[in-house]
Structure 1
Amino acid sequence: MKLPLSQQKGFFAEYYLKLREVGAASCDSDIAKLSGCGNDDERVAYVDQLSWVRAGDAGLQVQREFNGKSATIAAELKERATNAFKQKKWLEAMLLYSRSYVSLPSDKVLERAIALANRSATLYHMQKHTECLVDIRRALDLGYPKDLLYKLYERQARCYMAIKDYPHTISAFKKCITAMDDSTLPADRRSKLHLDAMTMIKLLDADPRTSKQAAKQLKLKAANVSTALDQAQTLPDEKEYVSELVRIDQNTQEGRFARASADVQVGQELLVERPYVAVLLEKFAQTHCEYCFMRTVVPVACPGCSDVVYCSEQCQQRAASKYHKYECGILPVLWRSGASINNHMALRIIASKPLDYFLQLKPTLDDELSLEQLLSLPKDDFRRVAHLERHQKERPPSNFFQYVLMARFLTRCLQSAGYFGNDPQPEQVKVISSLVLRSLQFIQFNTHEVAELHKFSAERREKSIFIGGAIYPTLALFNHSCDPGVVRYFRGTTIHINSVRPIEAGLPINENYGPIYTQDKRDDRQARLKDLYWFECNCDACLENWPLFDQLPRDIIRFRCEAPNNCAAIIEVPPTCNDFMIKCVTCGEMTNILKGLKVMQDTEMMTRTAKRLYDTGDYSKSLNKFVDLLRIMYEVLAPPFPDFCECQQHLKDCFLNLGNVYNLD
């Protein structure tokens, strides 16, 4: 028996093809009429009334799914975990206990407490003491069985002792002694455990460090500063920051773009920005926090579904209150449909705010805003992203048709999740469909891939892996260059932008949309940019057709002309040149290249030192060395040249190591 369309893998493409088949001869002519629609409301309304589209809707039924939550599956996983634990396969046991816990339905409270307690035991054996404390606290909160509580408190005491928190160690041992009253332990084992606990309490009571720690903890508690080490902490929210060196400008040729309001030096932080919306890729849904994107060893499960995990209760509650209440149970359908991460972002933009917010905003959404008005809007205002580039005028009807179909599907997902309440009003549904359609358009050109640096230390190899997508309203206004002036790295979903070369006041501050001149030929770069972003790049690297890194000449040194008339010419000199004074063919003035030759000699030793610091993991000091190197080089030498490119890449690597990092060793 063939599965219903919406149960098939990658069903949205199949749905689209079937629609065209049903539309038959009138299909292309009907789609072509979309060119007569003046806005997204009209496009949605027009497609909605096409009879062959309405006929195809029956195959696109969307229902919430919670198949992953199963007490039976959880019990099977628990049994496998216990077998692994008995064989001292701690990591395997820990992962299986996690899967068992995530699979348990929310009403299986006792089973969840036991799964977390079991996971804490594996973490203790792995010497993950802080993580073990987190799970112990969670098991206690869920009402772990009274007759077994003494086990948890003893393990808690051992963890606190391992991290040298003696007041909490004493407290846990005392709780262990009290909890033994409810246990079924044989008298001899109870007596031994009681003696061991009392011995440790006496020893720690006599240790002078205990009283000092207790006094410090009491002081912090009085100041309302939490010192509990058994509370899972999410990644702290970083303060957003736009440097005074960054000015957003606008003109007819470049649109909205960033320029330097004053001279920018190498390594300066120009922007720290949290995303307007961020979505994790499906393949990382069980390893990373769905809310903040941090890897989690001891995940918190969603009470409703087993599709995502969180690093902490705080992140789980934030997601639930904001958007996950509408995505819970819908994610399997969305992933199975073949919808891209961009499509998922469009759904989440709507799911993150209540229906009334969009209904009230819609009548004024297209009101023209000046650049100053746009930038002054609150960061969570939909207009901050709704007014990003959409290239509406260049879109062919066929493109609009596909996007309208996706908008209708995503709106149907929201509807089935209860976004419109129990009695969805057709006009409200159409408003949201049009806003999803708008979102799909601006997301296409303004998404950034969120990265995590994977390190293979044994092989001395690193690779940036994309784990999700996000929109950063301010960064989205930066233009592209195949020779970017900045590097970006991520802490969780927060993006950091730092300069990787000097940028003179008044010049654009450009980032990179993917193709870079050192790795891709000009024709390939321009074709890719045209295909993905619908523009032709005119950066220096494209206009001058700079060679790839492997083809950069190493027998030529490019000096800047130092004539007092501010000549911008480049003087190319072979390393074997014996003359110190070289005449500029552009302005006719003489330039002394002795300083430049000395710079080349000095930078060799500095480069070795910077690389050594990098190899030992001292990324901050290594970064400072590479910053100095680039500054010195840029004063007398002109890109592109190999040493400068290599130094820039090393600087970028240093910044990446300050962000999301996963060591695979």
Structure 2
Amino acid sequence: MDNIEITQPELESWKKDIHLKIVDTINYATQGLGLDLNNDRQNIIERCIDNLVDKKASRYIPTPENIRTKDNFISTIYQAEGKLHYNDKDYNESWIKYTKAIAYALPDSLELTYAYSNRSAALFEAEMHDDCLKDLSRLKYMKIFPDNAKLLANLRALKSHRIIADRELSTSLRYANKKEVADQVDKIGTRALKLNSEIAPIILEKNNLEVPSLSDSTQLNYSREYGRHITAKKDIKFGEVIGVEHAYASNIVQDLKYNLCGYCKKQTWSSIPCNNCAHVVYCSESCKINADNDYHRVECKIIPYLLAFGIKDKYLLALRLTIIGMLESVYRPDKIPTKKNLSSFDPRSKGFMNGRLRSDVHTSVVSMQTSISGNLIDQECVSLADCFIMAYFLLINMDDLPSDHDGDLKDLKTRKKFMNVVGLIDRSVRILMNNGLEVSMPQANVKNQRIHMGSALVIPFSLFNHSCQPMVIISRHGDQFIMRATCPIKKGQQIFTNYGVTWYCHDKQKRQEFLNFYNFTCKCDACCGDWIHSEKSDKKVVKNNNKVRNHVFQTLENLVKAVEKGQLQNTSSYYLTENRLTVKPGDLEVYLVVLNEFYKYFNINSSRAVELSYLFSDFVALTQAAFIQFFA
């Protein structure tokens, strides 16, 4: 059922035909007419539409029928499937089916009452009593609540309260050293997850005055060769926090949309649905309200139509980025600043407001890099087809097109607002191609395994250029993205991130081929110096007294043991019963003071330095909330 409910094969096929026509048009425009893929954008878009309207099959954007949105019938089907898994004691699958039943049920319906009640039962059996009680508490506000369901809910609530009370008693007894009694109480289990709530926000001690999300150890520069880039204003230590920021826009992949909060991205088991669509859930009412205010009240009604065409997550994020910008300009796409508007600005400070780069306004987004390589024409054409579809349904939802519009592209091309919105979404796609981050989270029960959870645009982090020798690592903690140095950085050095290829994982030829595909020529130390990952590079560069050296290596050994212990504990059961991370974020500082001495003994391109980089990455991963299943 899940594969059928979202996409409609005939619409996917129609979009594929559109894509092929656009490929032909762009190839002719760029190769035959000599138009530039980036600078002649408007001309290319208009030519694509002209080519599509030549034939009736491609001229009209079809409107999907039987879209999957709020539907009590679908809710009952999911509840029936959930019951089957519940009877088989497969509470993970039972939980996901009941969550979908909640998402599809109409507000205040009997189906929603039963869906909450049934999910609370699955949570109870999974020993997730805190979440069980959250679902049961929502039943009190349901307009339809049959007496038999009310009785079962009250009994389940009493049992959950008792188990939680016993668990708290056990904890108190342990503090009182009455371990034997505590062990008896522990036979009744309760599990919960509060990993996100225990992560204290990181605050930079001193901020960069021009880019407040970065530390004062950084400096924004500009050159023709590198464009805008970041250098070290002073020496930066290994492990030092360089940047702290929230995403300007982010999303969740479709596969995890019922596992993670649609706004803060926290994993949740007692989620609440959107009142109007079935494609997002939230961990709290406040997240639901914030999402509606920021973007979801606009995208909500059109997402089911777009999913019917099989539009991918990365293009849906481009739509969200556009909507946020339009809401900032009070629904006036013509009032959103364009790159042309900013061309008169100093290239170093374009997008600045009051002397600084604001990471919470669309003006800063507009100033970001949008040029793409001609090698990406196929991907480019898919995105343009999606742009036409998204702009069409967006404008219908905003009442800028009549609800009975037939999707005629010939008519749409004459409408200035349609062409403006197509241009805005297209620009958002290209901004994300150049500046977007792929976001992942550690996966419990699997060593060194991460799960892709979505994408994000973190504006200040886009200022860092690529090197095959990365100097930073970016990790997500709660709703913050943290950038740390992965090696010592000298004052005046440019600070580099990495675009996917490193000198110690890929040989020079493969790196250059990959980067050339994106019209990028790398001149980093690793490429210019022909670095090769080898034990021979472990040459000592400084001699120091043995006492200090031994202390450094002992600390490194302790870090290895801490990582190994954390990885052994990286299980769903540990997180849910211990209710904490395997490693606390603050534990890292204990090692960093000593490990900064490490580079006195080994070159940056030594195999030992590479090992330390991997070890540091593994440790940081253990300080992140993992994606878990409650019965894995």
Please give the alpha-carbon distance, in whole angstroms, between the structure 1 residues aligned to 2:216 and 2:60.
Answer: 54
Aligned residue identity for 2:541: R
Please give the alpha-carbon distance, in whole angstroms, between the structure 1 residues aligned to 2:286 and 2:65.
Answer: 25
In the TM superposition, residue 137 of structure 1 has moved relative to its aligned partner by 1.7
Find 1:475's aligned residue among 455, 461, 476.
461
Please give the alpha-carbon distance, in whole angstroms, between the structure 1 residues aligned to 2:374 and 2:432.
Answer: 16
Task: Look up the match of 1:537.
Answer: 522
Find 2:345's aligned residue among 369, 378, 382.
369
In the TM superposition, residue 639 of structure 1 has moved relative to its aligned partner by 2.1
Find 1:449's aligned residue among 419, 438, 447.
438
Please give the alpha-carbon distance, in whole angstroms, between the structure 1 residues aligned to 2:51 and 2:538.
Answer: 65
Task: Look up the match of 2:535.
Answer: 553
Matched, 1:517 2:503: yes
Task: Look up the match of 2:218.
Answer: 246
Matched, 1:15 2:13: no
In the TM superposition, residue 409 of structure 1 has moved relative to its aligned partner by 2.8
Task: Look up the match of 1:488.
Answer: 474
Contact persistence 1:490–1:496 (CA under 8 A): yes
Contact persistence 2:439–2:454 (CA under 8 A): yes
Find 1:358's aligned residue among 333, 344, 348.
333
In the TM superposition, residue 393 of structure 1 has moved relative to its aligned partner by 9.5
Which deviates more from structure 2 when the two are superposed, residues 136-145 or residues 91-100? 91-100
Deviations 1:442-484 (A, max 9, x none): 2211111011111326xxx121232211111100011111111
Please give the alpha-carbon distance, in whole angstroms, between the structure 2 residues aligned to 1:63 and 1:235.
Answer: 44
Contact persistence 1:250–1:257 (CA under 8 A): yes
Distance 1:142 1:524, change over 3 A: same
Contact persistence 1:558–1:641 (CA under 8 A): yes
Aligned residue identity for 2:592: V
Aligned residue identity for 2:522: C
Please give the alpha-carbon distance, in whole angstroms, between the structure 1 residues aligned to 2:388 and 2:200.
Answer: 34
Q: Aligned to 1:264, what secondary structure does the other structure show?
A: coil
Task: Look up the match of 1:654.
Answer: 619
Contact persistence 1:265–1:503 (CA under 8 A): yes
Please give the alpha-carbon distance, in whole angstroms, between the structure 2 residues aligned to 1:237 and 1:448.
Answer: 23
Aligned residue identity for 2:426: L
Matched, 1:104 2:105: yes
Find 1:609's aligned residue among 558, 562, 565.
558
Task: Look up the match of 1:586.
Answer: none
In the TM superposition, residue 536 of structure 1 has moved relative to its aligned partner by 0.9
Greater Rg over alpha carbons, structure: 1
Distance 1:61 1:660, change over 3 A: farther
Task: Look up the match of 2:407.
Answer: none
Task: Look up the match of 1:645.
Answer: 610
Please give the alpha-carbon distance, in whole angstroms, between the structure 2 residues aligned to 1:16 and 1:59.
Answer: 14
Distance 1:366 1:110, change over 3 A: same
Contact persistence 2:373–2:517 (CA under 8 A): no
Aligned residue identity for 1:7: E
Matched, 1:428 2:417: yes
RCO comparison, higher one (Cα < 8 Å, 6+): 2
In the TM superposition, residue 367 of structure 1 has moved relative to its aligned partner by 4.5
Q: Aligned to 1:487, what secondary structure does the other structure show?
A: strand
Contact persistence 1:114–1:139 (CA under 8 A): no
Please give the alpha-carbon distance, in whole angstroms, between the structure 1 residues aligned to 2:351 and 2:365.
Answer: 10
Task: Look up the match of 2:448.
Answer: 462
Contact persistence 1:613–1:622 (CA under 8 A): no
Contact persistence 2:538–2:608 (CA under 8 A): no
Distance 1:663 1:101, change over 3 A: closer
Task: Look up the match of 2:277.
Answer: 305
Matched, 1:275 2:247: yes
Matched, 1:390 2:370: yes
Contact persistence 1:264–1:502 (CA under 8 A): yes
Task: Look up the match of 2:76.
Answer: 75
Root-mean-square deviation (CA), in Å?
A: 3.8
Distance 1:629 1:523, change over 3 A: farther
Matches for 1:403-414 after TM superposition, within 5 Å: 404-414=384-394
Aligned residue identity for 1:469: S
Q: TM-score, normalised by structure 2?
A: 0.77
In the TM superposition, residue 629 of structure 1 has moved relative to its aligned partner by 5.1
Task: Look up the match of 2:128.
Answer: 128
Task: Look up the match of 1:44.
Answer: 45
Aligned residue identity for 1:415: L
Q: Aligned to 1:498, what secondary structure does the other structure show?
A: strand
Contact persistence 1:403–1:440 (CA under 8 A): yes
Please give the alpha-carbon distance, in whole angstroms, between the structure 1 residues aligned to 2:284 and 2:521.
Answer: 45
Aligned residue identity for 2:334: L
Aligned residue identity for 1:313: E
In the TM superposition, residue 111 of structure 1 has moved relative to its aligned partner by 2.2
Distance 1:60 1:624, change over 3 A: same
Please give the alpha-carbon distance, in whole angstroms, between the structure 2 residues aligned to 1:131 and 1:506.
Answer: 51
Please give the alpha-carbon distance, in whole angstroms, between the structure 2 residues aligned to 1:6 and 1:427.
Answer: 31
Deviations 1:325-357 (A, max 9, x none): 343354355345454443222211122333634
Task: Look up the match of 1:190.
Answer: none
Contact persistence 1:31–1:397 (CA under 8 A): no
Contact persistence 1:5–1:59 (CA under 8 A): no
Identity rate, percent: 19
Which deviates more from structure 2 when the two are superposed, residues 390-399 or residues 43-52? 390-399
Task: Look up the match of 1:418.
Answer: 398
Task: Look up the match of 1:497.
Answer: 483
In the TM superposition, residue 547 of structure 1 has moved relative to its aligned partner by 1.5
| Residue-pair matches, total | 558
Q: Aligned to 1:537, what secondary structure does the other structure show?
A: coil
Task: Look up the match of 1:224.
Answer: none
Please give the alpha-carbon distance, in whole angstroms, between the structure 2 residues aligned to 1:609 and 1:294.
Answer: 31
Please give the alpha-carbon distance, in whole angstroms, between the structure 1 residues aligned to 2:195 and 2:589.
Answer: 33
Please give the alpha-carbon distance, in whole angstroms, between the structure 2 residues aligned to 1:394 and 1:87.
Answer: 53
Please give the alpha-carbon distance, in whole angstroms, between the structure 1 residues aligned to 2:336 and 2:123.
Answer: 49
Task: Look up the match of 1:223.
Answer: none
Contact persistence 1:450–1:493 (CA under 8 A): no
Q: Aligned to 1:319, what secondary structure does the other structure show?
A: helix
In the TM superposition, residue 384 of structure 1 has moved relative to its aligned partner by 0.9
Q: Aligned to 2:430, what secondary structure does the other structure show?
A: helix
Please give the alpha-carbon distance, in whole angstroms, between the structure 1 residues aligned to 2:544 and 2:202.
Answer: 46
Which deviates more from structure 2 when the two are superposed, residues 145-154 or residues 310-319? 145-154
Matched, 1:320 2:320: no
In the TM superposition, residue 627 of structure 1 has moved relative to its aligned partner by 2.3
Distance 1:340 1:99, change over 3 A: closer
Which deviates more from structure 2 when the two are superposed, residues 357-366 or residues 426-435? 357-366
In the TM superposition, residue 365 of structure 1 has moved relative to its aligned partner by 3.5
Distance 1:70 1:404, change over 3 A: closer
Contact persistence 2:264–2:478 (CA under 8 A): yes
Aligned residue identity for 2:507: K
Aligned residue identity for 1:543: C
Could you tell me which runs of 5 or more consecutive residues in structure 2 were left unpaired when the two chains were aligned: 1-6, 170-191, 204-212, 404-411, 567-581
Aligned residue identity for 2:131: E
Deviations 1:386-441 (A, max 9, x none): 11112379799998766544432331232343363658991111111122222222
